[in-house]
Structure 1
Amino acid sequence: MDEREWLAERFEEHRTRLRAVAYRMLGSLSEADDAVQEAWLRVSRADTGSVENLAGWLTTVVARVCLNVLRARQSRLEEPLGVHMPDPIISNEDQDDPEREALLADSVGLALLVVLETLTPAERLAFVLHDMFAVPFEEIAPMIERSPAAARQLASRARRRVQGRAPAPDPDLRQQREVVDAFFAAARDGDFDALVAVLDPDVVLRADGGAARGRPTVVIHGARAVAGQALTFTRLAPFVRPALVNGAAGVVVAAGGRALSVMGFAVAHGKIVAIDVLSDPKRLADLDLAHLD
């Protein structure tokens, strides 16, 4: 086996982890795959003879590719697009899917990814690499051309925003599902008080309808306002299909073999603290939902 073949095998061994890094950095499955492929092209041309920690080095290569993508995104935006929903990872509650489980090993919920979308590229890189993948600040600093102390401050600032806007969900999936089921039962029955009862007072509903198609993004705060919006879900009740959305209790709303929306829920302390909705027809059409049948 020559050196390139050896390197290709080692890269494949780390691909799942590298894809997980890229997904957290970019919030896009297709861009994550592209970033990993770009990383391989760079790695295959590099001299790896002096690399002592191959896994760590590969992580930094992928992270640098993702940082360039984030900076390019930022430079293209003249005005904020409002809420942008990351690509959801959807799976069946009754089926094991090792690939999806590996991608979500750190329970990176949809609400957390939405908050990550609001960070600067440098903040996102510092937080993701350090807090999710234990990369030392001494290795993060050169990527963003800052000192280790400055990288630490960026991660700390990002952490405060995440903790304030994406609270840790309840770990019991069964209890999450009970709360989400109660939410839809109340919506189906038009029971406003029951809806308010399962919502945290400071709940936030975020919906991405696809800015490119002229569909407005929506952000609604507070239990009573969100409950009022939820009453409009009554007509969708027959089409709600339970699913795991980024490892948490959620639903896919589908009719006639076509997905109408994906809804992710964050449940903390027995109450719904966040609802994230993707209803962009173009992005929904790209989702692989065959495993839910």
Structure 2
Amino acid sequence: MPLSIADEFEGHRPRLFGLAYRLLGSAVEAEDAVQDAYLRWSRADRTVVEHPGAWLAKVVTNLCLNRLTSARARREQYVGTWLPEPVVTSDGALGPLESAEQRDAVSMALLVLLERLTPTERAVYVLREAFAYSHREIAEVLELSEANCRQLYRRAAGRVTAPESRFEPAPEQREVLVASFITAAREGDLAGLEKLLADEVTWWSDGGGKVTAARRPIMGRDKVTRFLVGGTERFAADMTFTVAEVNGAPALVAWVGDTLVGVLTFELRDGLIAHLRAVVNPEKLEFVGRRLTRP
């Protein structure tokens, strides 16, 4: 018995969501793009669709390219730092993450770096790196020449894999660092925190103007340590903290009662915390909140 329109599409949905999220950096917008792709799929003449997966990937990619153009304009008006929406990855939402390379490919660090690229560069890079498309296949998706796609990929890879963007250690080392960070922050252990942070550590907060958050990055071990201890003293008494796998790595999750109020991710370098990225904008926590177990 042939699959229904909906059932056949559902078999492709996880891969399409993973593609859209990597292109957009927004889980909510990725869901919308995938739903738009379903509407097109339901109206398409599937007798002429030889490879449904490839057809749907092309549709989603082009929907995301259109969204990226308008997203750029919105992000220029964004209040404070813009960070990608966090996504729980322990449930396979972005596909299998069985290697360090696969985890890095969905890390907050890489998604931030992808913002350096033009929409077309980003599409070429994601299709090549995350989905192993050949340059010929990418050319067919984007309706460009193969030579142009090769050039776009080289340019994108050069901008994304700059020396300062190289990350980072084994999963067990991450877990130990995150656990040590939580303990030191809870106890207001200034010396303990300083031992975990790189000299040039940077704290980024994304409140989107919806909640109180640092609108500019806080840089340097001393300043970040004081900021963390001060914030813990002011707010942590009402919070419960849990750890979850977010974007391929352990992250600190903060709750007030049943309400998710923040997700903190860590970028490590040379065994120390080099970057801390806190997403506290309530709008960006809706998607991840639906997939986290409340404490």
Structures share fold, TM-score greater than 0.5:
yes
| 1:94 aligned partner | none
CA 1:26–1:240 in 2, change beyond 3 Å: closer, same or farther? Answer: same
- 2: CA distance between counterparts of 1:38 and 1:179? 41
> How much does 1:255 deviate?
1.9
**Secondary structure in 1 matching 2:86:** coil
| 1:31 aligned partner | 29
- 1: CA distance between counterparts of 2:247 and 2:142? 29
Is residue 2:19 matched to residue 1:21?
Answer: yes
Assess if the C-alpha contact under 8 Å between 2:88 and 2:292 holds in 1.
Answer: no
> How much does 1:8 deviate?
4.2
Assess if the C-alpha contact under 8 Å between 1:124 and 1:158 holds in 2.
Answer: yes
State how 1:275-286 maps to structure 2 within 5 Å: 275-284=276-285
Assess if the C-alpha contact under 8 Å between 2:88 and 2:244 holds in 1.
Answer: yes
**Secondary structure in 1 matching 2:293:** helix
| 1:100 aligned partner | 93
Paired residues in the alignment total 285
Identical pairs, percent:
36
- 2: CA distance between counterparts of 1:213 and 1:31? 21
State how 1:116-155 maps to structure 2 within 5 Å: 116-141=114-139, 143-144=141-142, 146-155=144-153
Q: Which runs of 5+ in 2 are unaligned?
A: none
| 1:267 aligned partner | 268
Offset from partner CA, 1:225-270 (integer Å, 9 cap, x none): 3223222233244532222222311111112222221101123442
Assess if the C-alpha contact under 8 Å between 2:14 and 2:94 holds in 1.
Answer: no
Assess if the C-alpha contact under 8 Å between 1:205 and 1:276 holds in 2.
Answer: yes
Equivalent position amino acid for 1:89 in 2: V
CA 1:146–1:251 in 2, change beyond 3 Å: closer, same or farther? Answer: same
**Secondary structure in 1 matching 2:169:** coil
**Secondary structure in 1 matching 2:61:** helix
**Secondary structure in 1 matching 2:217:** strand
> How much does 1:177 deviate?
1.7
CA 1:154–1:81 in 2, change beyond 3 Å: closer, same or farther? Answer: farther
State how 1:176-215 maps to structure 2 within 5 Å: 176-211=174-209
**Secondary structure in 2 matching 1:149:** helix
> Which deviates further from its counterpart, 151-160 or 263-272?
151-160
Is residue 2:1 matched to residue 1:11?
Answer: no
CA 1:212–1:251 in 2, change beyond 3 Å: closer, same or farther? Answer: closer
| 1:257 aligned partner | 258
Equivalent position amino acid for 1:15 in 2: R
Offset from partner CA, 1:152-211 (integer Å, 9 cap, x none): 233333333333354333232x32121122223333444444323212334332110113
Please, which of 57, 66, 71 is the counterpart of residue 68 of structure 1?
Answer: 66
| 1:40 aligned partner | 38
State how 1:148-187 maps to structure 2 within 5 Å: 148-164=146-162, 166-172=165-171, 174-187=172-185
> How much does 1:146 deviate?
4.1
- 1: CA distance between counterparts of 2:75 and 2:83? 16
**Secondary structure in 1 matching 2:153:** helix
Question: TM-score, normalized by length of structure 1?
Answer: 0.82
- 1: CA distance between counterparts of 2:242 and 2:293? 12
**Secondary structure in 2 matching 1:272:** strand
> How much does 1:130 deviate?
0.8
Assess if the C-alpha contact under 8 Å between 2:58 and 2:142 holds in 1.
Answer: no
Assess if the C-alpha contact under 8 Å between 2:109 and 2:267 holds in 1.
Answer: yes
- RMSD (Å) for aligned C-alpha atoms: 2.9
CA 1:212–1:190 in 2, change beyond 3 Å: closer, same or farther? Answer: closer
